[in-house]
Amino acid sequence: MKEIKFRVWDNASKEMWKSGETRLLYNDSLKLSYKQNFIITSEGELRVCQFYPDGVTMNYWNGIALQFTGLKDKNGKEIYHKDMVRYYEELWTVEWNENSSSFEVLSLDKNEVMAMGDSRMEIIGNIYENPELLNRHC
**Domain of residue 100, CATH code:** 2.30.30.290
Domain boundary among 64, 83, 112: 64
Mean pLDDT of the chain: 78
What is the distance between the alpha carbons of residues 130 and 35, in angstroms, rounded to a whole number? 26
Domain boundary among 17, 49, 64: 64
Q: Determine the structural domain holding residue 74 and report its residue range.
A: 66-135
What is the per-residue pLDDT across 82-95, written as a single tens digit (0 to 9) for each? 999 998 888 999 99
Count other Cβ atoms within 10 Å, centred on residue 8: 22
Assigned domain for 80 exists = yes
Shared domain check, 110 and 123: yes
Q: Which residues of the chain have pLDDT under 70?
A: 1-2, 19-53, 55-62, 137-138
Domain boundary among 22, 43, 64: 64
Shared domain check, 88 and 55: no
Number of domains observed in the structure of the chain: 2
Shared domain check, 100 and 54: no
- CA-CA distances (angstroms) from residue 95 to 24, 26, 104? 31, 35, 5
Shared domain check, 50 and 36: yes
Shared domain check, 60 and 75: no
* Structure letter (DSSP) for residue 1: -
Indicate the pairing of strand 15-18 with strand 22-27: unpaired
Which pTM was predicted? 0.76
